[in-house]
């Protein structure tokens, strides 16, 4: 527990050390300069003390360069303290710390007095004995008792039994044991036998994944040192621009495919010739440079207030235009004040990707009501958790662990983080074999569905209904077409003025669309679905190009395959992002959805202020007719208003119900008016 | 597998349930519910196995022992349906439905019960005013059970009832409401078809055609979509394209001298041609080029009638032969029958060249006369009325369901010359009427009239090169006209 509390502080310390790297190095160099140029012993000692205080607690995990800095600092402190009476007692401590840190360290004899050197050697001889080592070939890795240690020709090892192991890629490692005793010099020779070729490579940038024949070997890391100077300079690079050496050992005979991958860079694939594998040898490849790979992303939305997130990272409010993005896959998410939009995208190198974000309603699952146990409860709960994977038209927020449905409802209502809620309630019985699924809007419009917990896919019907969104528009050409048996294609029953001006002849069949035979009305719909902007139709003569227009549709009042709370939520979002006729059409359909819930007063409220500029198809007359129906449903009090609405509807003789080819509104309104009399 | 004979099963079931029955009388309602469910399920099982008696007994027991159970109205509904669908005794279903209405009006099953009751009442109706009770039941379904799956069925029937009363505007509202509110209901295709036909009656031909196309688009595999296809075809051909008649010659496929004095033609409900061959004293169905005998032999048949049941009625001086029934129904001594048609109420309208009125025979055999000029030909109309030709008055009269003339077309109207006689009339069920004429300056020929009496297409036989003796005609479902040539023993098709 105490450790846990200390963890954040330790983390902060590490971060601060990293941040202090240049400062610490500077402090170390200042110490040296103060003594060398000004003879400022106190100033120099203070700086070395600071370096020691910072690095000593981390000694076990320091990199080689910092161990060297720390070792030199101990050496300097011993020398400086030795020159001052009050510091003399600390000298032995500095030397002892130096030996414990790095017994192989050679004190600077130009700086250190003979007496101190002798003291250093004496102290070292109390615990360590020298061992003379030879390595063939050199450049490998030495471990002493399993811990990495510099592969020096002379090393000081602590007394006792020691295991030394020397290895190098492409060679079989060698291991030997030594018994280190006081005043007894030992020697050991490592001669490694080659077992394969080894290929060394440096990559720019560092951090690239290295794959050999499709198998990942790891990632390059760090920065190359001065030893890579000869490799870097010809390419106009500095050594630190390259990664540390990455060695591919155990290269099997034959050709190999080497692939390098790094985020934001184009993958690079090169073939390793078989001469690299046999005969066995060490090879160093020319540094490999990966080319940056980026595309641009533009995200727009007709809905206000969206904020873009790419794989969890905020990219700011919409619209986002030509945002440079590393190529690759992303989870694109746009959070709107109401609803959300998510899409898995792949940004391609050098290409521009544009996304139109249309918010989806969010469905928050409140969970399973009550604690009643029943067979299949655990399975049902896990299915509820995973329901989101089946939903395409709503964003699913799974139930939160440990939260009761009541608490979840309070949370959702307070935060408005979802437009829809889902609650599962077991239907009370001796044995629970039915569960009621309720989907509702936050305003209380609800839909219920009974399912059996033990059936194969109890949430399948709900998912199907949630995934069904009725269209409110369809593409059209201003034509009424019939499939007349015996005619070669769709027969033109009626055409708009524009279509007739363009050359369409009423009473004649259309034989071709976009140059291809057109056997039926259904085929024309398919052509329109795949066309962009216009369709060229032929009635046997010169093709006539007609623009594709959007024609309004009504949602059905009570279709079994729809989840009406979800339909309402979709339409509300659609309305929020729509203007003009599109907004009025959304209002009309919102009114119809409310009529489904028999909320005729609310429907009237919506329909009253909607104005459709269209006069044919689903248009203002349609809207007026529905308003009349709503007033009728409110009872005799509103008969006058109903009659007025029907009279209004009759003013639009071309207005239809359902869609552009639906029944005319006027005769229905006329009849309704007569019935009112 | 059970070896018990069916007669044993019901008592056995009841015996097994006897302890429960006894206990049920004294124990809590929860156990009543269990007993009711077990009885209901037992009945269901027996019914599925077609052990009807066992099922009916078990459900009867349920009604007797646990009348307050939620399964009681279900049992009542099953009993009523059995009487209608299996026993074909609708009158036996009514007591169950009456009880349902009186005692279980709050149960969800009451919606189906009321609908079935309404349907049975509508079937009993013999005139428009008789539909009142049926319509009340349909309206009850709509008012009391607005969310019930029975609603589309009730609306469809309500629409038909309005249509049968001549209230086409009201009928259309109901039909439209069926598919507007419940586009996925089983009744939706039928409602679309009936809405389309009603639009035509209201004079909205484009609306009718668009609706038929919608039907084909939305329910392409339904039987109604097949119906819609030919209805579009004949309307477009006759009323919009109106091409001049073209004599295709002997039909089918150039067959000549293959009949024995054909005298009468009619169209079966599925589109096959029905014809009567005088020398063979028999009617035949022409199916894929083959003649199949239909009904019993009958001499001197003067009119063919196709009832909704799909069989064929033959009218002769001797009487009426209905389908396979060899018994002759006397027709009140009508000796010069010139045409006949069945109306919506099942009454047979008969025209007789020697009777200055139409004679209407109701299904129970009673007859009445409807004032009319002497009719030389008669055919039914989709509006529920008939069209008659009165040579003496030189007029074609479109009569409504009450026999009142709605449209009068003088002979020769819209023609280059007038004719004197109408030999035969034929309708296609989509509003068009074909007229076979003779005499006058026009001479022998044909014309097709629209529902408003306008001449849509016409031709003289002389212009078509036809020399035979044409006695009858029929409008086919491709927009063609088939003529019956008794002299040359063949059929001729005009396209």
CB contact under 8 A, B184 and A662: no
Q: What is the 3-state secondary structure (H, E, C) of A594-626?
A: HHHCCCHHHHHHHHHCCCCCCCCECCHHHHHHH
Rounded mean pLDDT of A372-391?
92
Instruction: From chain B, pick out residues whose CB is under 8 angstroms from the CB of A433.
Output: none
- A284 inside domain: yes
Predicted complex: ipTM over 0.90 = no
CA A124 to chain CA centroid, Å, is 56
3-state secondary structure chain B: CCCCCHHHHHHHHHHHHHHHHHHHHHCCHHHHHHHHHHHHHHHHHHHHCCCHHHHHHHHHHHHHHCCCCCHHHHHHHHHHHHHHHHCCCHHHHHHHHHHHHHHCCCCCHHHHHHHHHHHHHHHHCCCHHHHHHHHHHHHHHHHHCCCCCCHHHHHHHHHHHHHHCCCHHHHHHHHHHHHHHCCCCCCHHHHHHHHHHHHHHCCCHHHHHHHHHHHHHHCCCCHHHHHHHHHHHHHHHHHHHCCCCCEEEEECCCCCCCCCCEEEEEECCCCCEEEEEHHHCEEEEEECCEEEEECCCCCCEEEEECCCCCCCEEEECCEEEECCCCCEECCCCCCCEEEEEECCCCCEEEEECCCCEEEEECCCCCEEEEECCCCCEEEECCCCCEEEEECCCCEEEEECCCCCEEEEEECCCCCCCCCCEEEEEEECCCCCEEEEEECCCCCCEEEEECCCCCEEEEEEHHHHCCCCCEEEEEECCCCCEEEEECCCCEEEEEC
A486 interfaces chain B, CB cutoff of 8 Å: yes
How high is the mean pLDDT of chain A?
A: 90
CATH of the domain at A635: 1.25.40
Tell me the C-alpha distance between B300 and B424, whole Å.
16
Q: Are A563 and A439 in contact (CB under 8 A)?
A: yes
Considering only CB atoms, A671 lies closest to which of B170, B182, B209, namely B170
Q: In what order do the strands lie in the sheet with A362-368?
A: A395-397, A362-368, A420-426, A435-441, A446-451
Residue that finishes a domain, picked among A99, A126, A153: A126
Q: Does A526 share its domain with A422? A: no
Residue pLDDT, tens place only, A197-206 = 999 999 999 9
Residue of B nearest to A667 (CA): B169
| Exposure of B12 in the CB half-sphere (CA atoms within 13 A) | 11
**CA distances (Å), B423 to each of B375, B391, B426, B473, in order?**
11, 10, 11, 9
pLDDT bucket at A302, cuts 50 / 70 / 90: confident
Domain final residue, candidates A356, A380, A400: A356
Residue of B nearest to A668 (CA): B173
> What would the pLDDT profile of B2-27 be if each residue is shown by its tens digit?
344 444 444 444 444 544 444 444 44
Residues of A in contact with B33 (CB under 8 A): none
Interface contact A560-B241, CB threshold 8 A: no
**C-alpha span between A290 and A268 (Å, rounded):** 7
Same domain, A580 and A648: yes
Q: Flag whether pLDDT at A485 surpasses 60.
A: yes
Q: Note the pLDDT of residue A272.
A: 92
- The residue in chain B having the minimum alpha-carbon distance to the alpha carbon of residue A490 is B213
User: Which of the residue ranges A37-46, A251-260, A500-509, B285-294 has the most confident prediction, judged by mean pLDDT?
Assistant: A500-509
Same domain, A34 and A119: yes
Does residue A298 sit in the same domain as residue A378? no
Q: How many cross-chain Cβ pairs, A to B, lie less than 8 Å apart?
A: 89
Q: In chain A, which residues have their Cβ closer than 8 Å to the Cβ of B147?
A: 558
Q: Using CB atoms, which residue from B181, B206, B232 is nearest to A556?
A: B181
A587 and A647 in a single domain? The answer is yes
- Asked whether residue A346 falls in the same domain as residue A309, the answer is yes
Q: Is A450's Cβ below 8 Å from some Cβ in B?
A: no
Dist CA B232 CA A521 (whole Å): 14
- Nearest CA-CA partner of B362 in B344, B336, B335: B344
pLDDT at A20: 53
Full domain range(s) for residue A653: 564-676
Residue B110: count of CB within 10 angstroms of its CB:
25
Identify whether residues A259 and A276 lie together within a single domain: yes
CB contact under 8 A, A667 and B172: yes
CA within 13 Å, CB half, B128: 12
pLDDT digit string (tens) for B315-347? 999 999 998 888 889 988 888 999 999 988 889
Q: Is A474 part of any domain?
A: no
Which residues on chain A are in Cβ contact (under 8 Å) with B145?
A: none
pLDDT-based confidence at residue A333 (cuts at 50, 70, 90): confident
Question: Secondary structure of A359-380 in the HEC alphabet?
Answer: CECEEEEEEECCCCCCCCHHHH
Q: pLDDT band at A9, cuts 50/70/90?
A: very low
Residue A160 lies in a domain: no
User: Is residue A476 in some structural domain?
Assistant: no
Structure confidence at residue A312 (pLDDT): 82
Return d(Cα A62, Cα A101) in angstroms, integer: 11
Residues belonging to chain B with any Cβ–Cβ distance to chain A shorter than 8 Å: 146-147, 169-170, 172-173, 176, 180-184, 195, 199, 202, 204, 206-207, 209-214, 216-217, 229-230, 232-233, 236, 240-241, 478-479
Residue of chain B with shortest Cα separation from A494: B206
User: What are the tens digits of pLDDT across the range A274-295?
Assistant: 999 989 998 999 999 999 899 9
Mutate to test the interface with A, among B186, B236, B237, B239 (most CBs of A within 10 A): B236
Number of separate domains in chain A: 6
Q: How far is B183 from chain A (nearest CA, A)?
A: 6
A198 strand-pairing partners: A282
Residue A258's CATH number: 2.60.40
Nearest CB to B229 within list A485, A557, A667: A485
Residue A64 is predicted with a pLDDT of 83
> Tens digits of per-residue pLDDT, B413-462?
999 999 999 999 999 999 999 999 999 999 999 999 999 999 999 999 99
Predicted pLDDT at A227: 86
3-class secondary structure, A191: strand
- Which chain A residue has the Cα nearest residue B477? A485
Question: Which of A356, A376, A395 finishes a domain?
Answer: A356
**Which residue of A480, A484, A593 is the best one to mutate when testing the B interface, meaning the one whose CB has the most B CBs within 10 A?**
A484
Note whether A156 and A104 are within 8 A (CB): yes
Residues 639-658 of A with CB under 8 A from B: 657-658
Q: Pick from B181, B182, B232: which is nearest to A482 by CB?
A: B232
Q: Which two tokens stand for residue B433?
A: 């009427």
- Rounded to a whole number of angstroms, the distance from the CA of A481 to the nearest CA of chain B is 8
The tens digit of pLDDT for each residue in A432-462 reads 999 999 999 999 999 999 999 999 999 999 9
Subunit contact B213:A560, Cβ cutoff 8 A: no
Q: How far apart are CA B425 and CA B385, in angstroms?
A: 14
| Residues whose CB falls within 8 Å of the CB of residue A225, separated by 6 or more in sequence, listed in order | A239, A244
The alpha carbon of residue A332 is apart from the nearest alpha carbon of chain B, in Å, by 37
- CB–CB of A667 and B169 under 8 A? yes
| Whether residue A447 sits in one domain with residue A371 | yes
Give the pairing of strands A197-201 and A282-284: parallel
Q: How far is CA A624 from CA A176, A629, A642, in A?
A: 97, 9, 9
Taking an 8 Å cut-off on Cβ atoms, the answer to whether B217 and A522 are in contact is: yes
The partner residue sitting opposite A559, judged by closest CB among B184, B206, B229, is B184
Q: Please work out, in degrees rounded to the nearest 5, the angle formed at the alpha carbon of residue A266 by the alpha carbons of A264 and A268.
A: 135
Buried b (16+ CB within 10 A) or exposed e, A361-374: bbbbbbbbbeeeeb
pLDDT of A17 strictly over 50: no
Mark whether A347 and A370 lie in a shared domain. Answer: no
Q: How far is B260 from chain A (nearest CA, A)?
A: 32
Do A329 and A387 share a structural domain? no
Chain B residues lying within 8 Å of A507, measured CB to CB: 240-241
The domains of chain B, with CATH numbers, are 34-240 (1.25.40.10), 246-494 (2.120.10.30)
- Partner-chain contact A658 B199, CB within 8 Å: no
A175 lies in a domain?
no
The predicted pLDDT at position B158 comes to 98
The C-alpha atoms of residue A487 and residue A483 are separated, in whole angstroms, by 8
Q: Say if A676 is an interface residue toward chain B (CB within 8 Å).
A: no
In angstroms, what separates the C-alpha of A641 from chain B's closest C-alpha? Answer: 20
Asked if A663 and B230 come within 8 Å (Cβ–Cβ), the reply is: no
My answer on whether A538 and A576 are in the same domain is no
CATH number at residue A333: 2.60.40.10
The reply to whether A427 and A462 lie within a common domain is: yes
- Whether B182 sits inside 8 A of A559 (CB atoms) is yes
Residue B269, pLDDT score: 86
Q: Of A45, A68, A67, A47, which Cα lies nearest the Cα of A58?
A: A67
Checking if the pLDDT of A397 tops 50, the result is: yes
pLDDT of A650 over the 50 cut: yes
Q: Is residue A183 part of a domain?
A: no
Nearest to A671 among B169, B204, B233 (CB): B169
What is the pLDDT, as a whole number, of residue A532?
82
The residue ranges of chain B whose pLDDT is under 70 are 1-30
- CA torsion B142-B145-B146-B151 (nearest 10°) is -60
Q: What is the pLDDT of residues A129-168, one digit of tens each?
A: 999 999 999 889 999 999 888 899 999 999 999 999 999 9
């Amino acid at each position: 527990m105490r450790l846990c509390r200390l963890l954040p502080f330790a983390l902060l310390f590490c971060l601060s050390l990293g941040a202090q790297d240049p400062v610490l190095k500077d402090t170390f160099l200042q110490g040296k300069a103060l003594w060398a140029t000004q003879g400022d012993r106190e100033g120099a000692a203070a700086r070395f003390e600071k370096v020691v205080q910072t690095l000593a607690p981390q000694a076990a995990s320091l990199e080689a360069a910092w161990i060297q800095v720390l070792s030199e600092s101990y050496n300097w402190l011993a020398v400086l303290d030795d020159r001052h009476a009050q510091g003399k007692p600390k000298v032995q401590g500095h030397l002892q710390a130096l030996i414990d840190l790095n017994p192989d360290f050679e004190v600077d004899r130009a700086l250190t007095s003979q007496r101190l050197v002798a003291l250093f050697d004496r102290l070292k001889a109390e615990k360590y004995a020298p061992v003379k080592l030879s390595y063939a070939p050199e450049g490998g890795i030495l471990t002493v008792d399993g811990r990495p240690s510099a592969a020096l020709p002379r090393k000081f090892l602590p007394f006792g039994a020691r295991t030394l192991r020397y290895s190098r890629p492409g060679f079989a490692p060698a291991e030997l044991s030594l018994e280190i005793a006081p005043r007894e010099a030992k020697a050991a020779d490592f001669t490694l036998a080659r077992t394969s070729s080894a290929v060394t490579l440096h990559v720019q940038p560092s951090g690239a994944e290295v794959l050999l024949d499709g198998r990942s070997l790891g990632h390059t890391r760090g920065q190359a040192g001065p030893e890579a100077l000869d490799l870097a300079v010809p390419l106009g690079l500095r050594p630190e621009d390259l990664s540390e050496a990455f060695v591919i050992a155990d290269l099997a005979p034959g050709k190999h495919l080497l692939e390098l991958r790094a985020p934001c860079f184009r993958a690079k694939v090169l073939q390793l010739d078989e001469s690299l594998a046999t005969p066995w040898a060490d090879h160093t490849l020319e540094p490999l440079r990966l080319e940056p790979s980026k595309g641009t992303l533009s995200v727009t939305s007709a809905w206000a207030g969206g904020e873009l997130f790419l794989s969890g990272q905020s990219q700011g409010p919409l619209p986002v235009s030509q945002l440079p993005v590393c190529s690759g896959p992303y989870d694109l998410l746009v959070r709107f004040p109401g609803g959300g939009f998510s899409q898995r995208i792949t940004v391609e190198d050098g290409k521009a990707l544009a996304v139109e974000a249309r918010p989806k309603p969010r469905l928050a699952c409140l969970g399973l009501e009550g604690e009643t146990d029943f067979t299949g409860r655990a399975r049902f709960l896990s299915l509820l958790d995973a329901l989101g994977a089946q939903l395409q038209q709503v964003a699913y927020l799974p139930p939160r662990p440990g939260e009761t449905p009541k608490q979840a409802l309070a949370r959702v209502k307070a935060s408005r983080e979802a437009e829809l809620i889902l609650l599962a309630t077991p239907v009370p019985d001796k044995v629970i074999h039915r569960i009621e699924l309720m989907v509702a809007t936050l305003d209380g419009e609800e839909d219920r569905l009974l399912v059996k917990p033990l059936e194969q896919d109890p949430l399948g019907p709900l998912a199907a209904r949630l995934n069904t969104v009725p269209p409110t528009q369809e593409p059209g050409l201003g034509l009424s077409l019939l499939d007349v048996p015996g005619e070669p294609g769709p027969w033109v029953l009626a055409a708009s003025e524009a279509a007739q001006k363009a050359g369409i002849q009423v009473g004649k069949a259309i034989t071709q669309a976009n140059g291809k035979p057109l056997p039926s009305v259904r085929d024309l719909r398919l052509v329109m679905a795949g066309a962009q902007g216009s369709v060229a139709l032929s009635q046997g003569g010169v093709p006539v190009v007609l623009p594709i227009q959007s024609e309004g549709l009504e949602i059905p009042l009570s279709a079994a395959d729809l989840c009406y709370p979800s339909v309402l939520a979709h339409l509300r979002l659609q309305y929020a992002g729509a203007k003009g006729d599109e907004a009025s059409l959304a209002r009309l359909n919102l009114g119809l959805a409310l009529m489904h819930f028999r909320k005729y007063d609310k429907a009237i409220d919506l329909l009253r202020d909607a104005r459709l500029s269209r006069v044919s198809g689903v248009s203002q007359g349609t809207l007026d007719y529905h308003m009349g129906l709503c007033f009728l449903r409110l009872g005799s009090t509103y008969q006058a208003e109903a009659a007025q609405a029907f009279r209004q509807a009759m003013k639009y003789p071309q207005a239809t119900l359902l869609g552009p080819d639906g029944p005319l509104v006027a005769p229905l309104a006329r009849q309704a008016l007569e019935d009112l009399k | 597998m059970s070896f018990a004979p069916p007669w044993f099963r019901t008592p056995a079931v009841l015996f097994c349930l006897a302890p429960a029955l006894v206990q049920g009388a004294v124990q809590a309602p929860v156990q009543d519910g269990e007993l009711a469910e077990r009885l209901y399920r037992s009945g269901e099982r027996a019914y599925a196995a077609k052990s009807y008696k066992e099922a009916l007994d078990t459900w009867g027991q349920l009604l007797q022992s646990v009348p307050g159970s939620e399964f009681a109205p279900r049992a009542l509904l099953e009993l009523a349906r059995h009487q209608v669908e299996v026993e074909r005794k609708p009158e036996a279903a009514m007591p169950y439905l009456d009880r349902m209405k009186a005692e279980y009006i709050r149960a969800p099953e009451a919606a189906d019960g009321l609908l079935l009751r309404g349907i049975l009442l509508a079937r009993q109706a013999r005139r428009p005013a008789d539909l009142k009770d049926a319509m009340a039941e349909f309206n009850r379904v709509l008012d009391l059970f607005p969310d019930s799956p029975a609603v589309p069925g009730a609306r469809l029937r309500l629409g038909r009832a309005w249509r049968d009363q001549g209230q086409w505007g009201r009928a259309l509202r109901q039909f439209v409401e069926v598919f507007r509110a419940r586009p996925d209901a089983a009744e939706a295709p039928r409602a679309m078809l009936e809405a389309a036909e009603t639009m035509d009656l209201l004079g909205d031909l484009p609306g009718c055609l668009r609706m038929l196309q919608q039907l084909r688009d939305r329910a392409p595999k339904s039987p109604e979509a097949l119906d819609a296809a030919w209805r579009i075809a004949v309307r477009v051909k006759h009323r919009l394209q109106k091409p001049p008649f073209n004599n295709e010659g002997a039909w089918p496929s150039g067959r000549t001298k293959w009949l024995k004095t054909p005298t009468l033609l009619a169209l079966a409900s599925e589109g096959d041609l029905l014809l009567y061959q005088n020398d063979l004293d028999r009617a035949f169905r022409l199916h894929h080029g083959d003649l199949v005998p239909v009904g019993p032999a009958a001499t001197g048949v003067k009119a063919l009638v196709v009832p909704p049941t799909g069989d064929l009625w033959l009218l002769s001086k001797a009487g009426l032969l209905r389908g396979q029934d060899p018994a002759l129904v006397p027709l009140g001594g009508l000796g010069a029958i010139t045409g006949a048609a069945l109306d919506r109420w099942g009454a047979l309208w008969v025209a007789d060249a020697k009777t200055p009125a139409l004679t209407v025979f109701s299904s129970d055999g009673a007859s009445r006369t409807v004032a009319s000029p002497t009719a030389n030909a008669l055919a039914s109309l989709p509006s529920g009325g008939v069209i008659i030709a009165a040579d003496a008055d030189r007029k074609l009269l479109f009569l409504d369901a009450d026999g009142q003339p709605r449209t009068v077309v003088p002979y020769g109207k819209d023609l280059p010359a007038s004719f004197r006689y109408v030999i035969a009339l034929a309708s296609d069920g989509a509003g068009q009427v074909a007229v076979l004429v003779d005499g006058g300056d026009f001479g022998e020929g044909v014309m097709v009239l629209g529902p408003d009496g306008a001449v849509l297409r016409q031709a003289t036989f002389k212009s078509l090169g036809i020399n035979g003796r044409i006695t009858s005609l029929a409008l086919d479902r491709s927009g063609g006209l088939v003529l019956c040539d008794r002299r040359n023993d063949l059929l001729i098709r005009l396209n």
